[in-house]
Structure 1
Amino acid sequence: MSIIIFGTGGHAKVVLDTVNAAQHEVRGVVDDRWSLPVWRDVPHLGSRLTLPNIVAMHTDAAWIVAIGDAEIRRQVATQLESLGAVFATLIHPTAIIGTGVQVGSGSVVMAGAILQADVQVGRHTIINTSSTVDHDCRIADYVHLSPGVRLAGDVCVEEATHLGIGACSIPGVRIGRYSTVGAGAVVIEDIPSHVVAVGCPAKIVKRKEKNDAD
């Protein structure tokens, strides 16, 4: 598989390592903030302004939007979809994938992650380094599980929510859309949409304005 990466930030570096570990070809990168012809030995193909031309020239390549921010990731993915781009599903060879697991297009499962039986992961979602997602969890589109997140069985994480490094949950809870669960937080009850929750146990400390979140 030949892959084009959108992004040149820290997350994109890890995505590039994952692409290489999975022995896919890296066709190039696209980023507005990079002006040199090469990034980490990979050709720089252009910027977001030139996406129509890039997609048209590389119809045989699949894309990964390597941007941590969920809303920007959504915007870029939506633009690429409108141009007819297709997306890769990227899984590091050291990840453990159980039976019945489904991972949506554009999503990345990083090194050491574990997805147990019948987990469902949506599109353009990040399952970061050494995160574990137990049986029957449902992880929606544009979610980011940071490194070391631990989800027990039958947890639902709704669209575009971010769980910070080392956060964990008991079985069966639901975490609403566009929410943030802080680093090291322990979720023992449902978390609503558009909030920030931190601590052990996780408690709501802020409600997000919807126009700030989506």
Structure 2
Amino acid sequence: MTNLLSQRLKADTNKYHVSLDQLPVLRGLMHEQPEPRAYEQVIQCFYHCFRAWQGVFAQAEREYSIPAFAKIELHLTALEAEVAQFNSPFEAACTPPLPQLTTLEDYLGYSYVLSGSHLGARVILKALQRSSLAANYRFDFYLSQSAWPLTVSTWPAWKAELDSLNDAGEIHPRVVIAAAIRCFKDLTHWFQHASSRSSVIHYI
């Protein structure tokens, strides 16, 4: 069994990560011809979720000494610019579940998930740019994520900094892992239920 926190995070969150990625509404982004309304629904879901989460993360950043490498970037400016172009109404069937951040470790768990999502954004962006949606959408959110310094080559350094905190005994690893799992669960719940009143295309 590995002692590296980053490896434990990957192993212990894997099934929750897969569950999120396999949601039909998100999997549809990788379809050869995604439906415009389905794409807009995904972006609107991210926007309303992250807008609700922004204040929670900002409060945690005031209360705890968040390491610079772990600061969460939600790309709300890009999301706002993109949502402003949409004509589809958004009526969520629920409100986003708010992160419960009572420790530095809680923040780090959410940071692991949200920071790591920058890597997947590059794959999604390439698929979208090859699709028919490229004629009408700029993909502001995925462009902003893809431009972030976190890449396949810099992600190991991010994980190494987290591992260093753990190795120095400055954090409780189980709390970080539990928070990362909660983050995946929160996002999965939100995307499953927020669109239940909308005519999102579900790909098979």
The two structures share one fold, judged by TM-score above 0.5 = no
- Using the size of structure 2 for normalisation, the TM-score is 0.25
Compare the two structures and name the one with the higher helix fraction: 2
Higher strand share: 1
* Structure having greater relative contact order (Cα 8 Å, sep ≥ 6): 2
Q: Normalising by structure 1, report the TM-score.
A: 0.24
